[in-house]
Structure 1
Amino acid sequence: MLKQITLVALMGLSASAMAGQWQVKLGGSVVAPTQDTQTALGVVEADHEYAFTPSVEYFFNDNISTELLLAAPINHDVQLAGTDVVRIKHLPPTLTAKYHFKNNTGFTPYIGVGGTAFVAWDERTKGLGDTDVKVKEDFGFAGQIGFNFQPADAKNWGVFFDARYAQLSPEVTLSGDVAAQFDLDIDPMVYTIGYSYKF
């Protein structure tokens, strides 16, 4: 499903490549889970993480764009009663359609809605003996709000800040010395600040 969504998005962008402008954004993010999960083992929660999050954005006109958020692999430690028990490496590709509130200043607020994915691999347990862990891919809603600021003397570059919400609850299965299955309610807020360049 993720491959199909990405292919359709890229085909749409390629077909419109001569009609607007591209923007590349380089940012640093804080990934802050907002939920925890009550399981038979106790309360399980993912911790906060930091990530390098570049993105590519295509502007159809001054107000409408679509943005694909990428990221370097993110490591999430999952805690049980405050102790790290699982480490998950994952990618969070996110595609949003955005509306920019264009005005006569260099300050341009925007909002966006779309979809996101949780693509996990290299899952490991810590301190659970001979226990294996498997985390399934998950897909969910994504929302975004932020702004881009372009100084008066800047032709193509600017700085931006945005906050995203991602609705993600991947299924986790433990087997071996410890056996359990539950949905890990992460639903993170992702706060990003960075540099943008339009060409």
Structure 2
Amino acid sequence: MLKQVALIALMGMSASAMAGQWQVKVGGSVISPTQDTTDPDLGHFEADHEYAFTPSVEYFFNDNISAELLLATPISHDVAHEGENKIKIKHLPPTLTAKYHFKNSTRFTPYIGVGGTAFVAWDEKTSGNLADLDVKVKEDFGFAGQIGFNFQPADAKNWGVFFDARYTQLSPEVTVKAGGTTVKKIDLDIDPMVYTIGYSYKF
């Protein structure tokens, strides 16, 4: 009987410990590149700003420490060549950060995070005077930093609104071919800021 009581108590404690450990966030993001690239042979390249639907899943180890995985629908990026001709690149930017939440007596909870990000590209297309070139973009991995806050209204039990900004360090390698022969390999400097606003729901 004592063993059964102990088992039930442990199950209850485990269920209580699990409560509030998962959070789902749904938001919209602006991806804003901070760098451009100039090659002495190929000229100037600059990625433009894009918008994306960016859900994320977050696991709380305790009240202060969590890990968040940022997801996104496929993003179609335009890269301008000499300000006119463009390369279209589809990619995904999965980003994982470890976060620290500054708990306080207000309904605002600021947080910071550090981690890593990836640039997974496919379906590269060229146009204009670059149409005859075959462009391939290699996947890339880099550092990610994050700062933001979550706000929980007075009448909210589980949901809130949030805003954060991420800096991601990305310079994917681009291979340019003409007639099947490699003409050039360059690093496309992007290093975007990702600004996100949306809703959060904690389980």
TM-score (norm 1): 0.88
Structure 2 residue 191 is matched with structure 1 residue 187: yes
CA distance in 2, matches of 1:129, 1:168: 25
- Residues 23-172 of structure 1: matches in 2 within 5 Å? 23-39=23-39, 40-127=41-128, 128-172=130-174
Alignment size in residue pairs: 183
CA distance in 2, matches of 1:147, 1:166: 18
- Which shifted more, 26-35 or 38-47? 38-47
CA distance in 2, matches of 1:114, 1:185: 19
AA in 2 matched with 1:91: L
AA in 2 matched with 1:186: I
CA distance in 2, matches of 1:68, 1:152: 27
Q: Percent identity?
A: 81
CA contact (8 A) 2:20 2:202 kept: no
- Which shifted more, 169-178 or 54-63? 169-178
Q: Secondary structure at the match of 2:34?
A: coil
Deviation of 1:118 after TM superposition, in Å, equals 0.2
Larger radius of gyration: 2
> Which stretches of structure 1, 4 residues or longer, exceed 3 Å deviation after superposition?
17-20
C-alpha RMSD of matched pairs (Å): 1.5
Q: Which residue of 1 aligns with 2:10?
A: none
Q: Secondary structure at the match of 2:153?
A: coil
CA contact (8 A) 1:19 1:60 kept: no
CA distance in 2, matches of 1:19, 1:156: 11
Structure 2 residue ranges without an equivalent (≥5): 1-16
Deviation of 1:105 after TM superposition, in Å, equals 1.1
CA contact (8 A) 2:160 2:200 kept: yes
Structure 2 residue 22 is matched with structure 1 residue 22: yes
Deviation of 1:183 after TM superposition, in Å, equals 0.3
Deviation of 1:20 after TM superposition, in Å, equals 5.5
TM-score (norm 2): 0.87
